[in-house]
Amino acid sequence: MALIELDHIQKTYDLGLSKVPALRDIHFGIERGEFVAIVGQSGSGKSTLMNIIGCLDVPTAGSYRLSGRDVSTLSDDELADVRNLEIGFVFQSFQLLPRASALENVELPLIYRGVSKKERRDRAVSAMRMVGRSSASSTSCTRRATPSCWSRTSPSWRRAARGRCGWWTAW
């Protein structure tokens, strides 16, 4: 069973007098541990597809199964749990909190999961060390998040920010 299964996904935006098809008959699966890139021209539906995969939007037609569950049958609370516990998000603009340190930015998703302060700090420091930020507890990585402290373009922070999610999306 694939981790993500999309079957004949369609998304059409109703603009009143006109309908704009954003996705037409998308069909594929992604296995656990598989790396996939979704590429295309501007306006080709990449963000729409990522919003559906990330459980932020729903398709107009077709079915989406995540870990064997039909996403369309999940309640709002269940979808919130999926987004909180199973999916990590890294947005194109990175969404780092500029007033928080790099370490605090890594800790943030764990707050929403109800992880204790000590465990959050331990897990965040460990995650940063795993991606080459061995001085995670020093002032060099606890000062406010700036490009010089924690490069916004570094793929390593994305891995650290996952917070042990089953999978994550980036766009």
Reported as a single tens digit per residue, the pLDDT across 96-141 is 788 888 888 888 888 888 899 999 999 888 888 887 765 544 444 4
Q: 9 vs 26, 95, 121, CA distance in Å? A: 5, 28, 40
pLDDT digits (tens, 9 = 90+) for 1-13: 899 999 999 999 9
What mean pLDDT is predicted for residues 144-157? 49
Predicted model pTM: 0.67
Nearest to 82 by CA among 12, 4, 2: 4
Q: 2.40.170.20, 3.10.129.10, 3.40.50.300, 3.10.20.310: which CATH number matches 4-85?
A: 3.40.50.300
Rounded CA separation 140/102 (Å): 9
Q: Locate 120 and state its tokens.
A: 């959050």
Q: How many helices (H) and strands (E) does the chain have?
A: 6, 6
Q: What is the DSSP string of 88-156?
A: EEE-TT----TTSBHHHHHHHHHHHTT--HHHHHHHHHHHHHHTT-TTTTSHHHHSB--TTTS-TT-HH
